[in-house]
């Protein structure tokens, strides 16, 4: 049973919706900026990040996180693109699978600071935090009753959410799945990556010889996944062809130097998609611009997918942590559906040690072929999606 993508929505530093993102993806007039009013740190004037627009940020409700704001905005766009609304969804078995990292891990910081000052404070914020699930919140938001799963696998969360939801469809656990991820800029990971000495004070340079670390970002990507039999005559935006995930168990923050986990994940995804490398148009790499990550990806791509164009988009979006995989899946679909892969922003100098040169200009591709999107995360999680666009054959 095929897993059809009937609609998707996205917001990030590239734009507030898919149309804006598509335009800016190729024009690339996007740069990181310094955070001035979100949280207080001496580092905010030194390390730039990729924020979503102020227009979006102003729409946050008092009782929600920025991450959930991003999630519901992307969800609204995805449902409209799929031709669905709350009333129509009630006719089907609906599941919700959401990936995140910050939203379920660090949004109790204000409570913690208050408790440190006065341990007689109300425990209600803590109780809400412990019971919080973005996936269940989406079901509640839509007044639905179905499967809900929140996935927290660090930077692979978004990719794993899409892959898991696609498995639900294939195994007939639901007719329609809402899948995606959202994360926001937050003081703890912002300072954490700096302390780990893998954050850059300048715009990041994926796969560049002079790369020296990441910039953080934020946003959300949401997909509506359906079985091919759920609704007749739906307009396809894409297809989830394959998914693979593997944990290399090598180190808490570093990938296995030989790419053991990523190799396994690709070797799970490719047979599931029933696809050979000659049917892949491009690879959307995790491409964090850190020394180790880019080296591992280059090694694996050269081993399994040699000669296929490689693109990295974090020079335009930053690293959106748990949302990264979902945002990059959206960008991959945009590239497939416009038959054009964007250049890798900020790449200038070839690293001879990598034997890999990412896209240096916007290139035309065959839209009837597939795309590979990879995510490597802390904890040794490695996940891969293989996607087809609307014209995939």
At residue 31's C-alpha, the angle toward residues 26 and 35, to 5°, is 145
DSSP 158-208: HHHHHHHHHHHHHTTS-SEEEEEEEE---HHHHHHHHHTT-B-SS---TT-
pLDDT, mean of each 10-residue run, the chain (393 residues):
91 98 97 93 95 97 95 98 94 97 84 83 84 94 96 96 97 96 96 94 98 97 93 89 92 85 97 96 97 96 97 98 98 98 98 97 98 93 97 90
Pairing of strands 216-217, 176-183: unpaired
Q: Domain residues for 321?
A: 3-389
Q: How far apart are CA 214 and CA 196, in angstroms?
A: 11
Res 365: pLDDT: 98
CA nearest to 47, candidates 37, 57, 32: 32
Res 378: pLDDT: 85
Res 1: pLDDT: 61
Packing angle of the helix pair 260-273, 291-304 (nearest 10 deg)? 40
Q: How far apart are CA 149 and CA 134, in angstroms?
A: 8
Residue 78 maps to which CATH number? 3.40.47.10
E strand or H helix that includes residue 220: strand 219-227
CA nearest to 359, candidates 308, 321, 297: 308
Q: How far apart are CA 18 and CA 38, in angstroms?
A: 25
At residue 385's C-alpha, the angle toward residues 288 and 369, to 5°, is 105
Number of domains composing the chain: 1
CA nearest to 255, candidates 303, 288, 229: 288
CA nearest to 2, candidates 234, 137, 166, 115: 166
Report CA-CA distances (Å) from 286 to 14, 115, 166, 315: 17, 38, 21, 11
In which residue are the tokens 């627009």 written? Answer: 53
Would you give the distance in Å from CA 35 to the centre of its chain? 21
Q: How far apart are CA 35 and CA 44, in angstroms?
A: 6
């Amino acid at each position: 049973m095929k897993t059809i993508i009937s609609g998707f929505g996205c917001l990030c530093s590239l734009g507030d919706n898919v149309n804006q993102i598509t335009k800016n993806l190729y024009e690339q007039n996007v740069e990181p900026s310094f955070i001035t009013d979100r949280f207080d740190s001496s580092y905010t004037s030194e390390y730039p990040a990729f924020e979503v627009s102020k227009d979006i940020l102003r729409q946050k409700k008092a009782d929600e996180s920025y991450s959930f704001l991003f999630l519901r905005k992307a969800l609204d766009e995805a449902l409209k693109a799929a031709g669905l609304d709350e009333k129509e969804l009630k006719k089907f078995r609906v599941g919700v699978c959401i990936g995140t990292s910050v939203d379920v891990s660090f949004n109790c910081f204000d409570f913690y600071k208050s408790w440190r000052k006065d341990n007689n404070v109300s425990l209600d914020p803590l109780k809400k935090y412990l019971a919080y699930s973005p996936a269940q919140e989406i079901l509640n938001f839509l007044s639905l009753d179905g499967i809900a799963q929140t996935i927290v696998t660090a930077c692979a969360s978004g990719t794993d959410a899409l892959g898991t939801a696609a498995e639900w469809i294939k195994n007939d656990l639901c007719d329609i799945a809402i899948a995606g991820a959202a994360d926001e800029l937050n003081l703890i990971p912002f300072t954490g990556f700096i302390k780990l000495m893998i954050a850059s004070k300048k715009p990041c340079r994926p796969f560049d010889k002079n790369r020296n670390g990441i910039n953080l970002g934020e946003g959300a990507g949401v997909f509506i996944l359906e079985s091919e039999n759920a609704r007749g005559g739906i307009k396809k935006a894409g297809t989830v062809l394959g998914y693979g995930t593997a944990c290399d168990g090598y180190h808490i923050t570093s990938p296995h130097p030989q790419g053991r986990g990523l190799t396994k994940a690709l070797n799970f995804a490719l047979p599931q998609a029933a696809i050979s490398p000659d049917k892949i148009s491009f690879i959307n790499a995790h491409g964090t611009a850190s020394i180790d990550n880019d080296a591992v990806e280059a090694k694996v791509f050269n081993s399994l997918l040699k000669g296929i164009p490689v693109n990295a988009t974090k020079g335009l979006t930053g690293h959106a942590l748990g949302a990264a995989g979902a945002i990059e899946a959206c960008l991959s679909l945009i590239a497939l559906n416009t038959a054009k892969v964007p250049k890798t922003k900020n790449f200038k100098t070839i690293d001879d040690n990598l034997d890999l040169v990412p896209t240096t200009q916007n290139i035309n591709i065959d839209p009837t072929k597939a795309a590979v999107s990879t995510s490597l995360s802390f904890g040794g999680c490695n996940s891969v999606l293989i996607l087809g666009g609307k014209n995939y054959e």
